[in-house]
Structures are given as structure tokens and as C-alpha cells.
Amino acid sequence: MSAPDFSLESLAFSRGALRVAGVDEVGRGPLAGPVTACAVVLDPARIPEGLNDSKRLTARRREALMAEILATADVCVAHAEVAEIDSLNILRASHLAMIRALDGLALRPDHVLVDGNMLPRDLTLPAEAIVKGDGRSLSIAAASIVAKVTRDAIMRDLAQHFPGYGWETNAGYGSKSHMAALQDLGVTPHHRRSFAPIHNILCKDV
């Protein structure tokens, strides 16, 4: 499987862009916790070695790369919380987190590479959706790493306050142990009530 490169960014530069941001999110599928997005504008002269789709990297490698990304790039992480996920739906909440991440960059980008097949509808910057972008674009790969490390840390912290659900290892996804804990311990304020497994449990309790 090929590694991401800088060709999409270079193409944008050749068309007049000066600052190209890569955007990715993590946490659409879990039953608990926020959805987290990251926007990254890499410095072409200081791109960390070994950037790749976060899913292809070990936790230790992700954390080491995140430190390099934060030291060399313009980075912003943003979230959409559980209440927003439940009121908007997960796709719109993911896009809201992406917009917030872009808005939080130190300097406004003039071109955006968004992971996935759909652009956030409120995005006003020139942009393109890149299917499997975290495996194609170094900027999106960097964003995927920072988003993943950040959200995993959030879920580990929440696990300290709500033990028993295994969030420190399952990151809120519906693992067998997580589903068993929901039956035994019930639904927490950090569970997504609009997601079918949680909704169904709550309906049974009515």
C-alpha cells in the first residue's frame, strides 16, 4: 500500500495557493465521546518523516509524530460534543468540528483538502474532498494523527471518571465489553443517545 505524499498540496501551490490545510476527523463510529477534527497546514520545508494514515501507525509512533507536527506546523484541534452529535446527526457534527478546526488555525488557509467524499456545507474556503485522503495526502495524514491521539486521550480521561466501559482501550466504540457494561452499568451522559444501541437501551428502561 502506497504512502501519502505531497502531490495534492503541490498541485494546489501550482494553482496559486499559499497555505494548504489538510483536515480529518476521528470518532464518527463510537457510541460515546465527542467527534474530534484536526486541521494542519504543514511547512513544506519541515515535514516530519513517516507521516501516514493514523490507523497504519502504532500508538507510540502516533504520539511521537504528533509532537513533531505540533512543533513544525500550524495545527488546530476542535470537537463536536455529544449533545451536538445528538441534535445535528453525526455527519453534520463531524463537519462542524472540521469547520471549527479550520477557524482555529493561526492563519487562514486558501485551499483545503478534506478527508472523505463530502465537503462540509458551511465551508467557505476553496476545498476538495479526497477519498481515503489520510492515505494520499501528507497534510490529511498529519491531521488524522493529531485527531486520533487527542481523542484517545480524551477517552482515557473519561474512563477514569466512568470506569467499567473500557473507554481507555475501546475509545468508546461498541466492543463486546462496552456493550456488556452498558447493560450492567447503564447509559452515561457521554453516550450518544441518537445512536441505535444507546437509544434502544433507553427505550427499554422507559
Residue 205, annotated as binding a ligand: no
The whole-angstrom separation of Cα 10 and Cα 140 is 14
Residue 53, annotated as binding a ligand: no
* Count of CB atoms situated within 10 Å of the CB of 56: 15
Q: Which grid coordinates are listed for 138?
A: 501528507
Residue of 3, 50, 42 whose CA lies nearest to 20: 42
The whole-angstrom separation of Cα 129 and Cα 116 is 6
Residue 25, annotated as binding a ligand: yes
CB 121 within 8 A of CB 37: no
Residue list, annotated binding site: 24-25, 115
Which residues belong to the annotated binding site for a divalent metal cation?
A: 24-25, 115
